[in-house]
Chain A
Amino acid sequence: MSLEMDKEFENRLKKARPAPPTELVEARIEKALQARERQKRMARVRQFLSWGGLAMAASILIVMGILMFNGRLDFEKHSQEPEAVPAQSQTTQSAPEAAVADEFEPVVAENNLKGRVDEGIVFLRNGLTARRYRYEFVDRVVWRNPSDGAVIEMEVPRDEVVLVPVQTF
């Protein structure tokens, strides 16, 4: 068959126009695309919430940590407040007793130097020469509960090494 005949036959076939899809298809596509768009938006929101939530929790923890470290936030104190003052017991307690808080307070904090040992001349890695002194401390902290006079005492031994540079010629 010649190319011309092929072309003619092709044109004959092309005259037949494909039937379009029903109108329902358009509505279904629109609905499906809207649903997809909603899913995408929800996924974005969920992603934001998961990361945003983590960041928010971390920020809250950091702020609470700072406040607790500075002593501005004391959970124990606040949680004890409602139980500590029931309405009836308030009237039976005397004023000085009520004022004394049932908690330990630091009363002593000290560093006691027990001695110093001269360990002699040492050669440092960077080539310098130094004299090494070892200071022996005992750190002592005492807490006292004013309501019952209970005392907690803690002693921690501690060494401090001090290097004093030595002039060499």
Chain B
Amino acid sequence: MNQLMGIEDRNDNWRDWLQEWGGRFLLFARQQVGTQAEAEDVLQEAIVQVWSKRDQFARIEPGLFFTHIRRMAINRARSEQRRQKREQAYASENQPGWFIPESGGESAEIERALEQLPVEQREIMVLRIWGEQTFEDIGRTLDISPNTAASRYRYGLENMRRMMKGGAA
């Protein structure tokens, strides 16, 4: 898989992963936690975790990082739930956007629509559209069946289309 992604299996290629997949990992992390800073913390922890145990995995692939990001976010939420709630309202006011502003012209609209989705649809949308994951992979990452993932994706897609202006194109 990582060969297909153009990432050679070198000893220090976590940088390549970060460069090529960092944005997508971060976008997924942003769906799991409240703020950009927390998402970056989670991303950092996940990469460090995967990379320091890389000998234990048969292969390093994006799904592994997504799974670890989710696990880290859950652990973090458990331990910091109270503090998060207190800080979230303040922190969310000046957060950087989820997408590169000039990239598609519609990035702000997409972010707004995405933000309004229920979390379970939102994380599947991110994994499927930007994470390029199959429903099988998504099922593994989120601990749900591929059918559930596909069904939630269809709802998410439909909801986003409705929310975005001219969604039907």
Contact = CB atoms under 8 A, between A and B. Distances in A.
B169 A9 contact: yes
Nearest to B20: A20
B100 interface: yes
Max chain B Cβ within 10 angstroms of own Cβ: one of A5, A16, A36, A37: A16
Contacts, number: 97
Contact of A29 (B18, B125, B130, B160): B18
B107 A16 contact: yes
B18 A26 contact: yes
Contacts of B158: 1
Contacts of A21: 18, 22-23, 25-26, 40, 43
A140 to B, nearest CB: 69
A26 B24 CA distance: 15
23 contacts: A1-B158, A5-B169, A9-B168, A12-B104, A13-B110, A13-B125, A13-B160, A14-B129, A15-B103, A18-B100, A19-B27, A20-B22, A20-B26, A21-B18, A21-B23, A21-B25, A21-B26, A21-B40, A25-B40, A29-B44, A29-B48, A32-B45, A36-B52
Q: How large is the interface on B (under 10, 10 to 19, 20 to 34, 35 or more residues)?
A: 35 or more
A19 B99 CA distance: 4
B118 interface: no
Interface string A7-40: 0111011111111111011101100110011001
A6 B150 CA distance: 13
B73 interface: no
Contacts of B14: 29, 33
